[in-house]
Amino acid sequence: MENKPLLEVEDITLRFGGVTAINGVSFEVRESELFAIIGPNGAGKTSCFNAISQVYRPQEGDIRWKGKSIMGESPDAVARHGIARTFQNIALFPQMTVIENILTGRHIRMKKNWVQGMLWTKAARQEEMENRERVEDIVDFLEIVEWRKAPVALLPYGIQKRVELGRALAMDPELLLLDEPVAGMNLEETEDMARFILDIREELGISMVMVEHDMGLVMDIADRILVVDFGVPIGMGVPDVVQANPDVIAAYLGEELESVDTSAIDAEVV
């Protein structure tokens, strides 16, 4: 039986004045699925993320979480539903340690109020202990134990990207939005991140939507792919189907196809 969708994006259109960033985009994300959105620069990929998070409010269409519309909700309400995200540019607190940065992701799961925290009541201490234990589990999962007490500003770029991923995982999401998770990484760092992304799906069962320019990574690990160009969807399906789509080749792989033959591309990205 086919997995029912967690997230449904139905025919959304997002405009900024006279500019249409997203035009009639529809897709769904199923339980434990790794869904990718690809396209040239300026295609509207990150705008899709911002629409899902309700940072931007599409003028048309609907976005549903577990069958219920989330249109018009605040970004923090969307996060409380179980939708977390990472960012294209690292957005960590540079002077804070790895543990402290990941712990900030637990704030939406904390139930004790500021008075209890200020008085450091038994209940507040217990909650703090439980949240720190959860953070330590994430540190172990992402293999960053040796840096756990280091300020993130002193860490290599690839490790900082893992810390940001850890902060998103600290929210205990059911859906994780990954905005260019391997941007700026070398080959070894990219392979490590790919392994963690697959582990998140297989071991934690978290659904993911990934925006990424690394075609090799996308074609290798995504279950299904949506291709957008100038905000318009031009193809969707499993990697093999998307690779063979002539509209996708023209919009996204055209320059590559001019310089090398198709078999070389297939060998690189499959």
Q: What are the extents of the domains in the chain?
A: 1-82+173-270, 93-172
∠ CA 64-67-70 to the nearest 5 degrees? 35
pLDDT value at residue 4? 79
pLDDT tens, position by position, 145-164: 999 999 999 999 999 999 99
- Rounded to 10°, the helix 122-141/157-169 angle is 130
For 224, residues 6+ apart whose C-beta sits below 8 A from its C-beta are 33, 35, 36, 236, 237, 238
pLDDT the model gives residue 90 = 85
φ/ψ of 7, rounded to 5, equals: -120, 135
User: Is residue 101 within a helix (H) or strand (E), and if so which, with residue range?
Assistant: helix 98-103
**Distance set, CA 200 to CA 32, 44, 95, 194, 245 (Å):** 9, 26, 27, 10, 29
pLDDT at 270: 30
Give the separation between CA 270 and CA 239, rounded to whole angstroms. 8
Segment (H or E) for 221: helix 215-221
Question: For domain 1-82+173-270, is the CATH number 3.40.50.970?
Answer: no
* C-beta separation of 179 from 46 below 8 A: yes
Q: Nearest-5° angle of CA 218, CA 164, CA 146?
A: 110
Q: What are phi and psi of 229, to 5 degrees?
A: -140, 120
Per-residue pLDDT of the chain (270 residues; tens, 9 = 90+): 456 799 999 999 999 988 999 999 999 999 999 999 998 887 889 999 999 999 999 999 999 999 999 999 999 999 999 999 998 888 899 999 999 999 999 887 767 655 565 656 766 677 778 888 999 999 999 999 999 999 999 999 999 999 999 999 999 999 999 999 999 999 999 999 999 999 999 999 999 999 998 888 999 999 999 999 989 999 999 999 998 888 888 876 554 433 333 333 343 333
Backbone torsions φ then ψ of 82, nearest 5 degrees: 115, 25
- Describe the crossing of helices 157-169 and 187-204 by its angle, rounded to 10 degrees: 20
Q: Identity (one letter) of the amino acid at 72?
A: G
pLDDT for res 250: 83
